[in-house]
Amino acid sequence: MTDATIPAGASPQAKDSLLVPDARTRKRNASEARFRAYGLGAIVIAVIMLLILLFTIITDGIGAFRQTYLTIPVTLDAQQLDPSGNRDPEDLKKILTLTYGNMLNGAVEGVIAESGIQVADLTEKDVNDLISKEAAAQLRNRVLANPELIGQTVESRVLVNGRVDGYYKGRVSMASAALDGNTSPQQLQLADALKDAGLLATRWNWAFLSNPDASDQRPEAAGVGIAILGSLYMMLVVLFLAVPIGVAASIYLEEFATKNRLTDIIEVNISNLAAVPSIVFGILGLAVFINFSGLPQSAPIVGGLVLTLMTLPTIIIATRASLKAVPPSIRDAALGVGASKMQSVFHHVLPLALPGILTGTIIGLAQALGETAPLLLIGMVAFVKNFPSAPPEGLFDPASALPVQVYNWTQRADPAFIERASGAIIVLLVFLLCMNLLAIYLRRKFERRW
Amino acid sequence: MKSAKFTVSALAVIAATATVAGAREQIQVAGSSTVLPYATIVAEAFGENTDFPTPVVESGGSSAGLKKFCEGVGENTIDIANASRAIREGEVEACAAAGVTDIMEVRIGYDGIVFASDINGNDFVFTAADWFNALAAEVVQDGKVVANPYTKWNEIRAELPDQEILAFVPGTKHGTREVFEEKVIAAGCEETGAAEVFAAEKADEDAAEAACMALRTDGKSVDIDGDYTETLARIQSSPNGIGVFGLSFYENNTDKLKVATIGGVTPSTETISSGEYPVSRPLFFYVKKQHIGTIPGLKEYVEFFVSDAMAGAGGPLAEYGLVADPELAATQQAVADEATMAK
């Protein structure tokens, strides 16, 4: 800059043209170029890492949204299902899934014979293991809900086992099946033949979003239904507790409290709490809510309370910042026309601070949604098969949560659960993305500039 | 004001529902991650075939489960603790101190511990002595105690392949580690004769025993604190490694892992139940008898678990890799009688 302002010829040393930069300028330009390159490099590395992460999750997890089903006619033999012949629900319940399983196996054998499928060295085990163990339970529930089906032949769409399903998703090959104790190349050939006959198809799997978890023997039936519900219940608790408490606390601290040593200490503590590792809140939750208050284990209410504690500092800090950002002239004007302090706050300051509060709240909720560590200690990392009932009672029923479901599935022995875990991550990411988009939208829509 | 009212009413709603929430309906189970898959299989079948809700099964490890179990009696404590080892005396005392006096011990069967390596790697025929020589901190050479000098398997015994020693063993928080130390390392210590040399050289018996069990810390033996899935991932990234797995985990991943034999015996549910394959351990769960009658379905669940249809030789648990208990009938009888542990 200084070089440029000196007129050429005024200084006897300046013989260079302005258009040819001297050594110092070149050096400064070079350092700027380097800095830009570093910045660009950092962003490129971050973007590449993110893309790799997303790519692996999506390629691993997309399979969870598709599932292979076999459509077969099953004859519900009245002799076996209702020996007493009175269709009494209590009697029907005595027939266990084992009977239904055998009936399904018979149906598969029937279909194979009917469509004339010939597979060399096909064992009975290959045929019986083709369909999922979940199928028998589903058929039993269907019959119990609808006893007049007994004696009829019903068209049933049943899940096939995880290995055969994996074969159509590229996870299992003929070569790996030969080594695998849980499937065999013959079983896969049988599946191929059934596919050619139009009975077996891989289709979109809504059940992944609505089914509960399943045991290690039936990965094909596992879904994130309870986990989504559990996460939703916890977010409800956080929303109904953390927002009012957090906003009230910030309004008091920012607008009403006198600034003295005590409020300074409180302020420092709130900032500190925001940085406390989340597992600490889990330990606190176990001690206070479960051991002292006697709330049930594995319940979304306890998870919600723990996450409320964790989210409060975030909400308080965001709310205070947005209250501070409202210009003092607004308060002065309100007071000037005769409003009370409270009227000025609730009628003028708070509405103007609302976009910031909403953004802070949603970001706090998103953080709480992805939190696993505190839930480990309060028994949410559990196998839960029954859906919780509707709130408020449902808040006390056992439930799982999305991040802990991911954690849970990565520990399972069957490789099919890797796909399920990645699928659950995709669901979690979609939820987080939606919440963050909502935060951005609200900020854009209500933002005021002075 | 609105917001303050809102807060108060929200708290009131929570408080009101807290009192409404009645008795617990479902069974709560926690404990060993080895027993977890079996427990979930049984819980799922139990929920499907009875009118009782499906029990909630948590993992977290045998010790953590038993600690929770011993917290006391009442609806906000768990009913059953799964364990891959027997309950310890100290834990029984802690239980008694908290009022958990009547504990039923139920042995569900046996779990084999297998050594497996990458499917494309070398074949291994191990003896317990090989494992002691490969992994112990100190071994005996020519009658003298020396720091473990072996770096390759074929240095230990010429028949073993020319491959770097690298083992992924369960971390100390796992019940599996205890079994591995006892049935493999300590047995190898005896087999090689190192135990006698240690006994002669070390100050006392405890020090000699500790010397037998001490694993080398130069990176050849890697503790895995996570689950078997982590061990599998480590083997896939370093194919020279040999991992310690549960039999059921191996059986679910036979397309990626090759199992090693011990003394020529291939691990399987048959060889383990016949006793030919030496490395196995019993699996248990512990039931709070005081909760029977309070928690609906608790006794039914326990009976269902040990029934022949579930835990028997042809049942789903055996299919998943559990070695059925030959004395299952005695266990069934004990459960029917609600027999508690001797005090």
Which residues of chain A does B3 touch, with a Cβ-Cβ cutoff of 8 Å? Answer: 244, 247-248, 251
Residues B83-93 have a mean pLDDT of 89
- Note whether A180 contacts B: Cβ–Cβ < 8 A: yes
Are A73 and A154 within 8 A, CB to CB?
A: yes
- Count structural domains, chain A: 3
Tens digit of each residue's pLDDT (9 = 90 or more) over A381-418: 889 998 998 888 888 989 999 999 999 899 888 888 99
pLDDT at A11: 52
List of residues 6+ apart from A109 with CB closer than 8 A: A127
- Note whether A291 contacts B: Cβ–Cβ < 8 A: yes
Residues B78-101 have a mean pLDDT of 90
Q: Which of A115, A118, A134, A124 is nearest to A72 (CA)?
A: A115
SS3 A128: helix
Examine the domain organization and report whether A274 and A375 are in the same domain.
yes
Q: Residues 39..78 of A with a Cβ closer than 8 Å to B: which?
A: none
Examine the domain organization and report whether A205 and A349 are in the same domain.
no
- Note whether A137 contacts B: Cβ–Cβ < 8 A: yes
Q: What is the mean pLDDT of chain A?
A: 88
The C-alpha of A392 sits at a distance from chain B's nearest C-alpha, in angstroms, of 7
Examine the domain organization and report whether A233 and A142 are in the same domain.
no
Query: What is the amino acid identity at position B257?
Result: L
Contact B60 A410 (CB under 8 A): no
Whether A248 maps to a domain, the answer reads: yes
Which phi-psi region, left, alpha or beta, contains residue A294 (left: φ > 0; alpha: ψ -120 to 50)? Answer: left
Contact B40 A381 (CB under 8 A): no
Q: Which fold has domain B112-280?
A: D-Maltodextrin-Binding Protein; domain 2 (3.40.190)
Q: Residues 331..350 of A with a Cβ closer than 8 Å to B: which?
A: 342, 346
| Delimiting residues of CATH 3.40.190.10 domain(s) in chain B | 23-110+281-336, 112-280
| Interface with chain B: mutation pick from A243, A279, A383, highest number of B CBs within 10 Å | A383
Whether A217 maps to a domain, the answer reads: no
Whether A185 maps to a domain, the answer reads: yes
Examine the domain organization and report whether A205 and A230 are in the same domain.
no
Size of chain B in residues: 343
pLDDT at A294: 83
Examine the domain organization and report whether A53 and A106 are in the same domain.
no
The C-alpha of B311 sits at a distance from chain A's nearest C-alpha, in angstroms, of 15
| Interface with chain A: mutation pick from B50, B76, B227, B258, highest number of A CBs within 10 Å | B76
Examine the domain organization and report whether A170 and A252 are in the same domain.
no
Q: Is the peptide bond before A392 cis (omega within 30 degrees of 0)?
A: yes
List of residues 6+ apart from B327 with CB closer than 8 A: B107
Burial A180-202 (b: 16+ CB within 10 A, else e): bebbbbbbbbbbbbbbeeebbeb
Whether A215 maps to a domain, the answer reads: no
Contact A244 B36 (CB under 8 A): no
Tens digit of each residue's pLDDT (9 = 90 or more) over A39-71: 999 999 999 999 999 999 999 999 899 999 999
Contact B54 A97 (CB under 8 A): no
pLDDT at A309: 92
Which residues of chain B does A137 touch, with a Cβ-Cβ cutoff of 8 Å? Answer: 48
With tokens 């964790």, the residue in question is A310
Residues A286 and B203: their CA atoms lie apart, in Å, by 45
Examine the domain organization and report whether A30 and A122 are in the same domain.
no
Among the partner-chain residues B56, B57, B248, the one whose CB lies closest to the CB of A413 is B248
pLDDT at A1: 47
Contact A215 B1 (CB under 8 A): no
Q: Which of A426, A408, A402, A368 is nearest to A225 (CA)?
A: A402
Examine the domain organization and report whether A240 and A360 are in the same domain.
yes
Residue A10 in this model has a pLDDT that exceeds 60: no
Are B51 and A272 within 8 A, CB to CB?
A: no
Q: What is the DSSP string of A378-433?
A: TT-SEE--SPP-STTGGGGS----HHHHHHHHHT-SSTHHHHHHHHHHHHHHHHHH
Residue A189 in this model has a pLDDT that exceeds 70: yes
Are B308 and B297 within 8 A, CB to CB?
A: no
Examine the domain organization and report whether A317 and A413 are in the same domain.
yes
Examine the domain organization and report whether A175 and A27 are in the same domain.
no
Tens digit of each residue's pLDDT (9 = 90 or more) over A79-128: 888 888 788 888 888 888 888 888 898 898 888 888 888 888 888 888 88
Q: Which fold has domain B23-110+281-336?
A: D-Maltodextrin-Binding Protein; domain 2 (3.40.190)
Contact A177 B320 (CB under 8 A): no
Are A375 and A282 within 8 A, CB to CB?
A: yes
H helix or E strand, kind and range, residue B287 = strand B280-288
Whether A216 maps to a domain, the answer reads: no
Are A211 and A222 within 8 A, CB to CB?
A: yes
Examine the domain organization and report whether A94 and A23 are in the same domain.
no
In this prediction, residue B263 has a pLDDT band, given cuts at 50, 70 and 90, of confident
pLDDT at A428: 94
Q: Which of A183, A209, A235 is the last residue of a domain?
A: A209
CATH of residue A269? 1.10.3720.10
Whether A384 maps to a domain, the answer reads: yes
Dihedral over Cα of B63, A370, A359, A242: its sign: negative
Examine the domain organization and report whether A182 and A240 are in the same domain.
no
Tens digit of each residue's pLDDT (9 = 90 or more) over A311-365: 999 999 999 999 999 999 999 999 999 999 999 999 999 999 998 899 899 989 9
> Residue A44 sits in which domain range?
2-60
User: Token digits for A91?
Assistant: 């009697």
Are A317 and A360 within 8 A, CB to CB?
A: yes
Among the partner-chain residues A93, A379, A413, the one whose CB lies closest to the CB of B37 is A413
List of residues 6+ apart from A348 with CB closer than 8 A: A330, A331, A333, A334, A339
Residues A304 and A233: their CA atoms lie apart, in Å, by 8
